[in-house]
Structure formats: C-alpha cells, structure tokens
Amino acid sequence: MNEHQAGFSYSVAPNPVYDNKGRLYVLFAGESQTLPEHKIGPKIYDYFLLHVVEEGRGTFTHEGQPYSLEAGDAFLIRPGRLVSYASDRHRPWRYRWIAFAGPSAGEVVDTAGLTPQHPVFRPAPESDIPRLLQHTLDVFRSRRAGAHLSSLGYLYLILAAAEDVVRGDDAIPAAETAGSLAVKQMIRYMTDQYAHPVSIEDMCQSLGYNRAYLSRVFKQETGTAPVTYLLRLRIDKARALLRERPDLSVQQIASSVGLTDPLYFSRQFQRLHGQSPTAYRESVLGR
C-alpha cells in the first residue's frame, strides 16, 4: 500500500541540542498512525527505541521471537538486535516513540527491568508514559534551549514508570534484606544531608521508618548508632575543611557541617580526636 493514503500520518522531532557526549541523551521522539500491514525491518538500530502502542494492534519480532501487541502495550528495541514490527491488516496501530543512547543507556534500561529476554511490557492504564512521550515531542518541537534537559527528565520518568510495571512486587526487598536496604538509605541520607541541621528524627520521618526500628537495624549492620554515625560523619567533614580551608573560621566550619553551636562542635571534636579544632588545624598546617 502507498503510505500517502488517507489515514497515514508520521511525525518526528529531533533533539534541538545535539549531544552525543553525555552519559545518557535523547535523540528524537515521534508518533505515527500506520497503514494496514505497514512493516519495518528486519533491521538493526544503533540506539535504543521505545514504542508505546496507543491504538490498534500489530506484531513485534525481537531476535526471531514474535510478540502480538495491542493498544496499551510497549516494546523496547535495543541497539544491534535484529527486529521487525508490522501493523495489523484490519486494525493498524498508532504509536509514539522515543529514541535515546549514551554509555549509561544500557545500564539504565537494565535497571528498569527491560532485559533482552523481556523487551515487551504493558504500562498501567493510568500510566504517565503516553503523556511523557507527548511532552518530549512537544518540547523538541518548541526548540527551547532547555529541551535536551527536559527530554532527559521525561526519559527517566518513562523508565521509572516502566520499572514500576516490570518489577512490580519483585522490587520490594525480601524480609532478610529489608534491613540492609534501610541502612543504605540512611547512610545515603546522612551523606547528602549532613551539612543541614537535620536530626535522626527528621531522617526517620523522611524515609518513612520507625525510629526504634531504624536504630536497631543500623546498629546491627554498622556496629554504631545512627546519631553517632552522623556526628562522626560531620566531624570528619569538618577535619577536611580545617585542613583545606584555612580562610574559614571554626564557627563557619561548624555551620558548614550542620552543627550550629560552635561550642558543642568543639567539645565533640575534642572528644573524638583528642584536641580542639584550632589545635588540629595548627598541627596539620604546621603553625
């Protein structure tokens, strides 16, 4: 059939900011209403290409394995994989797509659970993926200076939505690993937030855990209490500042590591390292 027949439409918008140096970047986005039995391939691509079927049905074949798909389904094409996809004779499909690449693209896709063995998934009916694909297309058409960053944000949200569907309950850690996951979350939180005057109570509330539970599993995993770990982290960061930033006062350094009371900071520094912050600075700087 001729692709200029009534009912056929095809639109693609490239990323207005060419970037092939990032770890992950979006190349283009598009949408098409296909004709009956419209077929692409067999062929290979050198980038990732994610399609979401909005209407109709068709067949996606990945490395010789056929998948019958219909409205609501999605399929991911990986670089270097032999694929083909064909629209149904009676109900030709309409789909949207996003193409992306970069050194970390494969890792991000694998993290979302879209493995070569499972290139097809079905987003939830309330999924934001179709809307996010439309946003990507719109922002590329707008040719705004920040379009490349917006598209990257949309891509991450699309893959996050895919992971929620693909992994489902499997993403919930088993009972024996839940404690380890909680401890990792706590350490990451403290590492990110130590410069702010946050407390263990703040952390527990932000992470959604009971304080008694968090304190218990943290002590089991690390051998120290969360409050002690956070204090030592802050003092270690302060030691680095005392060495590297002689232009900062002790009070400024205390504030920079989330301890707003300089007297308390000096007492704890002395307790943990046997000398005051000023004496420590003088010893390492040879004064």
At 179-216, the pLDDT tens digits run: 778 888 888 888 888 888 888 888 888 888 888 888 88
Closest among 217, 230, 220 to 272, alpha carbons compared: 230
Give CATH 1.10.10.60 domain extents, the chain. Answer: 173-287
232: enclosing H helix or E strand: helix 226-244
Give CATH 2.60.120.280 domain extents, the chain. Answer: 9-171
User: Higher pLDDT residue, 265 or 286?
Assistant: 265
Give buried/exposed letters for 230-261 (b at 16+ CB in 10 A, else e). Answer: bbebbbebbbebbeeeeeeebbebbbbbbbee
Q: For 159-182, what is each residue's pLDDT tens digit?
A: 998 888 887 655 444 444 667 788
* 173-287 CATH choice from 3.40.50.800, 3.90.1010.10, 3.40.630.40, 1.10.10.60: 1.10.10.60
pTM above 0.75, yes or no: no
Contact 16, 140 (CB under 8 A): yes
pLDDT greater than 70 at residue 5: no
Closest among 222, 231, 241 to 270, alpha carbons compared: 231
For 38, phi then psi, to 5°, come to: -60, 130
The stretch 126-146 carries a mean pLDDT of 90
User: CA-to-CA distance for 197 and 199, rounded, in angstroms?
Assistant: 7
Q: Does domain 9-171 correspond to CATH entry 3.30.70.2190?
A: no
* Predicted local confidence at residue 31, as pLDDT: 94
Contact 234, 272 (CB under 8 A): no
**Number of helices (H), then strands (E), in the chain:** 10, 10
* Predicted local confidence at residue 2, as pLDDT: 44
pLDDT greater than 70 at residue 267: yes
pLDDT greater than 80 at residue 286: no
pLDDT greater than 60 at residue 65: yes
Q: How confident is the model at residue 27 (pLDDT cuts 50, 70, 90)?
A: very high
